[in-house]
Amino acid sequence: MRIFGKIATYASFLLLAACGGGGGDPGTPGGGGGPQPGGTMSVQVFKGSGDAESAVNAFTSSDLDIHARAILRDRGGQPVPNAIVTFSETGSGLLAFVPESATALTDHNGKAEVDLKAASISSLGATQIVASASLPDRSGNQVEVIGSQNVAISAAVAADPQSVATAINFTEANPSDRSIVIAGSGGNGRSETALLTFTVVDSKGAPIKGVIVDFNVVPAGSVTLNTADERTDSSGRVTASVSSKAQPTSVIVNATVRGRNISTQSDTLTVTTDVATQRGFDLSASKFNMDYDLSGDSSTVNVRIVDRNGNPVSDGVAVVAQASFGRVGSSSRGGCTTQNGVCSVDYQVQNPRPADGIPVDVVFSTQTGQGTQISDSLQLWVTSVSWLNLYASSNTTVPFSGPLNLSVADVEACKFNGVAMFVGTPRGFAAPAGTTITVRSRSGVSTPSIVAGSPTLDRAGGRTLVEFAASGKSGGAAGSDVWVIQFTAGPSKTVKTIELPVSVPACPKPEPAP
């Protein structure tokens, strides 16, 4: 029985040797993998380089000198050169590999290395690094050879964060355009406060938690500094808050690591755009003299608003529009909202329409944050061609009915003196913009023409001047004529015709030269 026991023990030993045994201890430096059908793969994590290199199974989230080394050997224990080794993690995504592909080629010693670090400053815990490659087994088939090591990542500990800091960097601003509005003029999309973020790092570029940073603004007192000092968070970030005052300015925020000669400054922050003011409210229109006879004849009315400093008000200022006749705005909005201090609405002709002599008042208004209402208005004129006639002056109420007495200005050419009259409505309004005026002789005794005033111009609050010229026939006797004058509205093409009696003088033939 004693002999049989020895034989059984020896057989068990041989069986264990044939199986190749287990892998290295993953919890201590020198982890790896045991013999496999294609060979062996061992993995070890190191910190430092050269003579300072040491095997580790733990490092901190701020360490930047960590690398993983894999050794690949074939079944006979010989190094395998020129093989692709792929590194990976079978944990919680705590690691970042360099290069990002996490691959390396073995050298003549079967060694392949990649750098690694914590994925972020807050990547803490335990994970496993795995290295794998393909080698042929005894049958020539490619099989995967794997090795691994467990590692732990702990938080970086600095006894005095102030002493570890080597740089502070300006990181970002909110609002991103680095511009805030003057106090009291904030609103939707308009901020009176800016947040300026800085990051404190050590000599390796890793962020440092717990560093006290002091802030000051230049020029001093130009804005309200809400944060005199602050301590960095786990990402090394610290934020200063500033709020605008009542005056426009540009300001810089300085950030200094307390007790150290380490500082930086933010980008320039601008404080602009006050609330709207009455004197900065401006209205204009693309057309003032509208066609009564064309529903939908339109004019674009523009609103421009600046603050007391001459800067355009912030985007999003709501302007309300109202009209005494016709329609203004759209069904979704009876006004407009400023963009870069400007907005516009369309005015259109429709019922109710004004009578002759009554202008259309279009009123625009807005309200400041202090409750002050600002408003302004402009007048448009809506007239019909059917109301038009000729008048001897701009303010008379009775149309000119004639006769129009012509006089000879040039005997040799038989040209008569020009005649100027006013075209408009009985109440003194102008014709619709773009109205054309034509004239012809009914009898042919004279040849009239329009030399000025057709088509009629826009932006006329009263009757407009029209000038006639005429000529006769050389040797023609004096007589009477009738000029047929036609007004045609530009937009609607509405037509009105009037007749004007004309007294034409004789036009004797010039005496021949002796």
Question: Where a domain ends, among 352, 382, 412?
Answer: 382
Residue 11 domain-assigned (yes or no): no
Residue 8 reports pLDDT greater than 70: no
Residue 345 reports pLDDT greater than 80: yes
- Predicted confidence band of residue 10 (pLDDT cuts 50, 70, 90): very low
CA dihedral (311, 312, 316, 317) in degrees, to 10, reads 90
31 and 82 share one domain: yes
- Predicted confidence band of residue 30 (pLDDT cuts 50, 70, 90): very low
Residue 13 domain-assigned (yes or no): no
3: helix, strand or coil: helix
243 and 340 share one domain: no
Question: What residue numbers bound the domain in which 58 lies?
Answer: 21-154
245 and 313 share one domain: no
- Provide mean pLDDT across the span 331-353: 91
Residue 127 domain-assigned (yes or no): yes
Domain total for the chain? 4
Q: Look at residue 159 in the predicted model and tell me its pLDDT.
A: 56
Question: Where a domain ends, among 227, 242, 272?
Answer: 272
- Domain holding 262: CATH number? 2.60.40.10
- Predicted confidence band of residue 274 (pLDDT cuts 50, 70, 90): low
- Predicted confidence band of residue 249 (pLDDT cuts 50, 70, 90): confident
376 and 289 share one domain: yes
Strand partners, 71: 42, 111
Give the β-pairing of 447-452 and 212-218: unpaired
For the segment 431-447, what is each residue's pLDDT rounded down to a tens digit?
Answer: 999 999 999 999 999 99
- Predicted confidence band of residue 370 (pLDDT cuts 50, 70, 90): low
User: For 474, how many CA atoms within 13 A lie in the half-sphere containing its CB?
Assistant: 7
Residue 74 domain-assigned (yes or no): yes
- Provide mean pLDDT across the span 166-173: 94
Q: Look at residue 9 in the predicted model and tell me its pLDDT.
A: 37
Residues 218/268, Cβ–Cβ less than 8 Å: no
362 and 394 share one domain: no
Residue 375 domain-assigned (yes or no): yes
30 and 81 share one domain: yes
CA dihedral (369, 371, 372, 377) in degrees, to 10, reads 90
Q: Look at residue 246 in the predicted model and tell me its pLDDT.
A: 81
Residue 415 domain-assigned (yes or no): yes
Strand partners, 252: 218
Average pLDDT over the chain reads 87
495 and 391 share one domain: yes
378: helix, strand or coil: strand
299 and 360 share one domain: yes
Q: In whole angstroms, what separates CA 424 from the centre of its chain?
A: 48
For the segment 56-68, what is each residue's pLDDT rounded down to a tens digit?
Answer: 999 998 888 999 9
Query: Closest Cα partner for 73 from 23, 108, 28, 22?
Result: 108
Question: Where a domain ends, among 252, 272, 292?
Answer: 272
Residue 490 domain-assigned (yes or no): yes
Residues 307/274, Cβ–Cβ less than 8 Å: yes
476 and 397 share one domain: yes
25 and 150 share one domain: yes
- Predicted confidence band of residue 5 (pLDDT cuts 50, 70, 90): very low
Q: Look at residue 19 in the predicted model and tell me its pLDDT.
A: 35
- Domain holding 447: CATH number? 2.60.40
